[in-house]
């Protein structure tokens, strides 16, 4: 009997560990480890087309800020055009892979509804209406209503809906009354390029003064709050602490002698992977003062290598941090709040407790574990309607 097959549609190449923080790559490998044949289909256009699309989208958003009604109509037209292009890519892929048991989309906006009779499942971190709900007072435009409607229809037609966190799971169930939402968050740690032995270097980490910040957006993830907190510690005589920043381009306003900007570090490039994991393993603390959720997966990477995490208490129901045991959650949004948390975590006994418990908490948070959980849910959904979970080509 041949293995069942799934076509994975992802925003980025699922063969590239750097695409969408390694999520497509992680899901593809997790499904394969669960015994599934995976056809990888990239929902993104080529680099030049993607660049042109993003430039156009940014230009239309600028128009919307100045001329809301005109900009809104232009953005709606842009969404129509993108939907037609995506549908064409999905249609071609469904014709190529007619032997699959499921189409799995890492998107709530794109699916094979109305294109193929193959059942489909969806996976994402949040839906568009949930994103809008975090912007109180913003009136819905035509584009917003269009995207909310598309996603709702896709979600209602899916065999199974997956998400990375319980916040989104609860939102989909309560807002839309969906019964097809899988109850457990499914997410894995992107350990690509890591060859160390977590837990063996705690004594070395305990002597470190490095506080690590990893993000793409410096302000959204609160890099300014972190540097401000260390400013306050420095003024009180804390001389050994330094800040290592990975991801954002250098922001001159926040330059300090004790701040080192490492830029982007790719895990698929051996020298950069060594630098990234060296910073992770060598850090005393991982601090990310997020201004909003959901929490990024890099937090689990820090926990895995035994680096205690301090982050914001945002979207509390979905937190991967148990405050005081696997990390510290900060309720406030000021440099003073993070100064207090960092000071507490520098205490040797609390620090070691957080390092050990944080590591233990994420040992099962692997893509293999997520892949097996996804297959079980898909198998159950398929069995309810069409018998055992086997691809059309299985014998």
Task: Domain 202-361: give its CATH architecture.
Answer: 3-Layer(aba) Sandwich (3.40)
Q: What does the pLDDT look like over 66-116, one tens digit per residue?
A: 998 999 999 999 999 999 999 999 999 999 999 999 999 999 999 999 999
DSSP assignment of 170-222 equals HHHHHHH--S-B-SS-------TT----TTTTHHHHHT--EEEEE-S-TTTTT
Give 335's contacts (C-beta < 8 A, 6+ positions apart). 225, 228, 229, 231, 232
Is the predicted pLDDT of residue 389 greater than 60, yes or no? Answer: no
Residue-level pLDDT at 171:
93
What is the token pair recorded at 92?
């071609």
113-117, 165-169, 252-256: least confident range: 165-169
Is the predicted pLDDT of residue 373 greater than 90, yes or no? Answer: yes
Any idea where the domains of the chain sit in the sequence? Answer: 5-188+366-386, 202-361
DSSP assignment of 135-176 equals STTPPP-HHHHHHHHHHHHHHHH-SEEEESSHHHHHHHHHHH
More confident residue, 18 or 97: 97
Could you confirm whether domain 5-188+366-386 is CATH 3.30.70.890?
no
Is the predicted pLDDT of residue 388 greater than 60, yes or no? Answer: no
CB 335 within 8 A of CB 225: yes
């Amino acid at each position: 009997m041949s293995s069942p097959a799934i076509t994975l549609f992802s925003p980025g190449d699922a063969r590239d560990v750097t695409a969408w923080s390694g999520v497509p790559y992680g899901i593809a490998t997790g499904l394969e480890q669960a015994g599934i044949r995976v056809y990888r289909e990239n929902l993104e256009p080529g680099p030049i087309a993607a660049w042109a699309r993003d430039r156009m989208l940014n230009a239309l958003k600028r128009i919307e800020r100045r001329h809301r009604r005109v900009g809104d109509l232009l953005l709606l037209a842009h969404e129509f055009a993108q939907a037609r292009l995506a549908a064409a890519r999905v249609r071609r892929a469904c014709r190529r892979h007619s032997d699959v048991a499921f189409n799995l989309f890492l998107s709530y906006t794109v699916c094979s509804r109305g294109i193929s009779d193959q059942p489909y499942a969806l996976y994402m971190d949040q839906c568009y209406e949930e994103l809008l709900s975090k912007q109180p007072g913003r009136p819905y435009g035509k584009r917003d209503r269009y995207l909310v409607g598309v996603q709702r229809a896709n979600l209602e037609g899916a065999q199974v809906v997956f998400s990375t966190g319980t916040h989104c799971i609860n939102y989909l169930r309560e807002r839309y009354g969906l019964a097809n939402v899988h109850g457990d968050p499914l997410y894995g740690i992107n350990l690509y390029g890591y060859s160390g032995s977590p837990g063996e270097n705690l004594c070395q980490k305990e002597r470190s003064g490095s506080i690590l910040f990893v993000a793409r957006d410096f302000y959204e993830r609160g890099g300014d709050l972190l540097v401000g907190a260390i400013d306050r510690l420095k003024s009180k005589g804390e001389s050994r602490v330094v800040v290592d920043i990975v991801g954002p381009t250098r922001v001159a306003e926040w330059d300090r002698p004790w701040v080192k900007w490492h830029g982007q570090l790719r895990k698929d490039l051996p020298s950069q992977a060594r630098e990234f994991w060296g910073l992770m393993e060598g850090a005393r603390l991982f601090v990310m003062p997020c201004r909003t959720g959901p929490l990024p997966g890099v937090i689990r990477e820090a926990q895995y290598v035994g680096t205690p995490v301090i982050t914001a208490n945002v979207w509390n129901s979905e937190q991967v941090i148990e405050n005081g045991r696997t990390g510290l959650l900060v309720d406030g949004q000021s440099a003073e709040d993070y100064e207090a948390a960092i000071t507490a975590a520098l205490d040797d006994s609390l620090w070691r407790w957080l390092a050990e418990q944080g590591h233990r908490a994420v040992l099962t948070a692997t893509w293999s574990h997520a892949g097996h959980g996804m297959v079980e849910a898909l198998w159950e959904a398929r069995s309810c309607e069409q018998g055992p979970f086997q691809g059309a080509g299985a014998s």
